[in-house]
Structure 1
């Protein structure tokens, strides 16, 4: 069932399907909840309830004009309010890209709401910062995205040719269709403009409490944006059990490029966690 819910004054589009332990799936840029279609099908079939929102600024959710509205803590509060609305005390978090950044913060600051944490591609913010020059080189686009108007023109030029050739998104036609609206493209970049200002790329992120939930990090070998150290280094910030998995031959959107492998890892991890609880 797809519904629209007002959370903290922002309308959020969310799909809620299946029965069983709740799994909250958080996408990143430039996606929407449809990114998780293969995982939702597998999780529902295995006896899990899936809750998949469009993050504010993306998909069919509201797109505030104020860049500050896209700060990570605003998105964390959205997820807590969503769980409250659906009367879910705690959920298993499964997250990718910017959704993973939100999930790391939520697991650190609201441990009572997080039964387990699975992050794809993006590791703990302090591990990301510690990944060094190799990661900074891959993050060149974060600086470009700060320049309002210039970033929008670079991405959208020639029917989004730069986006298509740089990102190699498996769903590039669908992504481009959503971002052709200049307001949608501008809003989507709010995630970068609110959270990774240039000075933040050269300074350590704020300290977060250690992650208490059982945690799995998954990185794919052909990721164009993240290096492996940003994920493997996350172990140092997890007090609960830690598991690392590597998906060979898949790019940044591994859940689309290697869905069977990702689904197998996810179900194995969730089943092991729920069996212990």
Structure 2
């Protein structure tokens, strides 16, 4: 049975000055913990998708910026994360289910107020979903912003090379039952905290209170298993990974922190073959957690791109 959010508690508390508010919303038969900002009657809708082992909290620096530019901003906690519902079993986290979640969230937002322009902004696992969402055209979108995840075809190519394969060891480790959960949650989820703090270029951006948000959410009953099931389902159901013609037909901005310990820089090579309207910004020295590690730079890049 899904873990429900009936108690209306939330995974974190926004700064009152940020303009971010929270609620629970139903979509695709599940209840999602949603952070939102901006006017509810804006015709411009931005859907922000977080990664592993994060939350919508990871977008706390971008949400006010987008709201100030007139966007209605929705940042859900993906299924299994935070106070969003957690269906049982690996199959519940198949990519096609994650794509349908995003489509249903867009439908829910449009039901509340029509959207004339839709943008998806995504990082890490959220970006895995976003790439495929755009390729398969699950719903029409107008813009795509990707952070530190390669196009599926670039990933497919580079995973055949030792330089990326050795960096992807954790994906294979995560296929084990029970052991990854125990390791990541041991000692008050110390490994979750270290994943952010030790790789960050600007460690002051990851205060103890910030790391506590992620660690506490990871320790919710069943949460870490659900989070790891994304990786298990991706490996188990190979058909879900097929990108078809792999073409992305909308203007796309890719922002990449170059000091990514898990993703080799060669993953960026040749992306324009499948993304003809591509703008790429590389941030030297910045970690995988790019939108938190260098929020001012990321916000400036996004602002410039949106204004163009």
How does the TM-score come out when normalised to structure 2? 0.81
1:221 is aligned to 2:258:
yes
Q: Within 2, Cα distance between the matches of 1:2 and 1:155?
A: 27
1:126 paired to 2:153: yes
Q: Distance in 1 between matches of 2:68 and 2:240?
A: 42
Q: SS of the counterpart of 2:287?
A: coil
Range with greater deviation from structure 2 (101-110 or 158-167): 158-167
Query: 1:22 touches 1:49 (CA, 8 Å); kept in 2?
Result: yes
Specify every segment of 5 or more residues in structure 1 that has no aligned partner in the other structure, as ranges. Answer: 273-277
Give SS of 1:55's match: coil
- 8 Å CA contact retained: 1:97, 1:122: yes
* Structure 2 residue aligned with 1:72: 95
State the shift of 1:73 in Å.
1.5
Does the CA contact (< 8 Å) of 1:129 and 1:204 recur in 2? Answer: no
Matches for 1:124-273 after TM superposition, within 5 Å:
124-131=151-158, 132-168=161-197, 170=206, 171-197=210-236, 205-209=241-245, 210-239=247-276, 241-272=277-308
Q: CA deviation at 1:89?
A: 6.0
1:165 deviation in Å? 3.4
CA, structure 1 residues 14+164, in 2 after alignment: closer, same or farther (shift >3 Å)? closer
**17 and 136 in structure 1: CA distance in 2 versus 1, 3 angstrom threshold:** same
Over aligned residues, Cα RMSD in angstroms? Answer: 2.1
User: Is this contact kept in 2: 1:145–1:151, CA < 8 A?
Assistant: yes
Sort the Cα spacing of 1:57 and 1:172 in 2 relative to 1 into closer, same or farther, 3 A.
same
Partners of 1:156 and 1:136 lie apart in 2 by 25
Which secondary structure does the structure 2 equivalent of 1:224 belong to? coil
Q: Identify the residue that residue 46 of structure 2 maps to in structure 1.
A: 23
> CA 1:204/1:175 → structure 2, altered by over 3 Å: closer, same or farther?
closer
* Post-superposition offset of 1:205: 4.3
SS in 1 for 2:286: coil
| Secondary structure in structure 2 of the residue aligned to 1:221 | strand
